[in-house]
Amino acid sequence: MQKRTLGTSGLAVSALGLGCMGMSFGLGPPADRQEMIALIRAAVERGVTFFDTAEVYGPFANEELVGEALAPVRNQVVIATKFGFHISPNGEQLGGLNSRPAHIRAVVEAALRRLRTDHIDLFYQHRVDPQVPIEEVAGTVKDLIQEGKVRHFGLSEAGVSNLRRAHAEQRVTALQSEYSLWWREPEAEILPVLDELGIGFVPFSPLGKGFLTGKIDETTTFAPNDFRNAVPRFAPENRKANLAVVELVRGIAAKKGATSAQVALAWVLAQKPWIVPIPGTTKLHRLDENLGAVAVELTPDDLSEIEHAIAQITVQGHRYAEGAQRMIDR
């Protein structure tokens, strides 16, 4: 497995990470725990060193899963988790955001226990809290870094102003936001600032929440507790219109002797050397398929062809429901 460094931070990780959320939260019923432990360990055996979780995934269940799975190889891997939602110690979601310093400190102590570790490699603010100055958030994480409980600070779905302000207080190692062939908004303002400041980029949903794999169409039904049911972009009429993106990827994949998922991931990897996507899966054969993307080379002509074709397509539907959209800092 190839390695990449997140910006100029010195934090080296596998070129593809593993997003663990869907193993226990958000995409239907939780998968079998022992099977997911085996899957995470299989990823380690294949060279994956970067694993993404968060307290809100469950809540807590996903951190506990990742902690158990990675305990035997803790010193070989980088674990990223997140704070910032208003969750009680017993897992009750109290609604909204909470990045007050005392809450961040409580979250880190609980996360360390669940992850079975004495430090968190990369600690993201999950969403910018408009009620707490970003300097206070960054300063609190700075203190946690000095105490050895956290190694690196990250932000998720933060805009340019908060990125700059946070980075001035404590180096931001990575920004995590959605990015894929069907969501390219970060290219306009975010990526240039990351390049300027030496901050790495960790795209979640690089496969368009599964849509770019070509396995979903307008007739696909999701489990009742699959969050895609509430995503406007996944309304049946929008899925039907958005299949134009899938057909584009499928055509490139056929020429490259690759799968659609591999081409979609290879495109993200080709954008910048400091980008590390974190596709998720609950299936071993999909893990192997995704990891194969690292070997797919898209030539300048391939990338130009994709760029020209995608410019002719208007993707339909917002990427979040209204409530979740209001938490995005742009």
Domain that holds residue 182: 3-325
pLDDT band at 325 (very low <50, low <70, confident <90, very high): confident
Which residues, in sequence order, are bridge partners of residue 189? Answer: none
Whether 294 is in a domain gets the answer yes
249-295, pLDDT tens digit by residue?
999 999 999 999 999 999 999 999 999 999 999 999 999 999 999 99
Q: Is 90 exceeded by the pLDDT of residue 187? A: yes
Strand ranges in 53-207 using DSSP code E only, listed in sequence order: 78-83, 85-87, 93-97, 120-125, 150-156, 172-178, 200-204
CA distance 148 to 143: 9
Q: Indicate which CATH number applies to the domain containing 127.
A: 3.20.20.100
Q: How many domains are there within the chain? A: 1
What secondary structure letter does DSSP report for 23? G
Residue numbers annotated as active site: 57
10-35, pLDDT tens digit by residue?
999 999 999 999 999 999 999 999 99
Give the closest residue to 220 by CA, choosing from 243, 197, 203, 247. Answer: 243
Whether 62 is in a domain gets the answer yes
Give the closest residue to 92 by CA, choosing from 52, 131, 56. Answer: 56
pLDDT for the residue 319: 92
pLDDT for the residue 330: 81
H helix or E strand, kind and range, residue 70? helix 61-70
Whether 38 is in a domain gets the answer yes
148-175, pLDDT tens digit by residue?
999 999 999 999 999 999 999 999 999 9
Within 206-280, where are the H helices? Answer: 236-256, 260-271
92-120, pLDDT tens digit by residue?
998 899 999 999 999 999 999 999 999 99
Whether 330 is in a domain gets the answer no
CA distance 209 to 122: 23
195-240, pLDDT tens digit by residue?
999 999 999 999 999 999 999 999 999 999 999 999 999 999 999 9
CA distance 287 to 106: 34
pLDDT band at 138 (very low <50, low <70, confident <90, very high): very high
pLDDT band at 320 (very low <50, low <70, confident <90, very high): confident
Give the closest residue to 59 by CA, choosing from 114, 17, 112. Answer: 114
CA distance 211 to 205: 10
pLDDT band at 323 (very low <50, low <70, confident <90, very high): confident
31-84, pLDDT tens digit by residue?
999 999 999 999 999 999 999 999 999 999 999 999 999 999 999 999 999 999
Q: Hey, what amino acid is at 5?
A: T
pLDDT for the residue 30: 96
pLDDT band at 326 (very low <50, low <70, confident <90, very high): confident
Whether 12 is in a domain gets the answer yes
pLDDT for the residue 322: 81
Angle between helices 134-146 and 160-169 (to 10 degrees): 40
Average pLDDT of the segment spanning 296-300: 97
Q: Is 90 exceeded by the pLDDT of residue 6? A: yes
What secondary structure letter does DSSP report for 72? G
Whether 282 is in a domain gets the answer yes
Instruction: Give DSSP secondary structure letters for 150-174.
Output: EEEEEEES--HHHHHHHHHHS-EEE
Mean pLDDT of the chain: 97
First to last CA, the chain: 34
The pTM for the full model equals 0.97
Cβ–Cβ under 8 Å, residues 109 and 64: no
Cβ–Cβ under 8 Å, residues 138 and 118: no
Cβ–Cβ under 8 Å, residues 274 and 191: no
pLDDT for the residue 321: 84
> 């894929």: which residue's tokens?
180
Burial letters for 279-315: b for 16+ Cβ neighbours within 10 Å, e otherwise?
bbbbeeebbebbbbbbebebeeebeebbeebbeeeeb
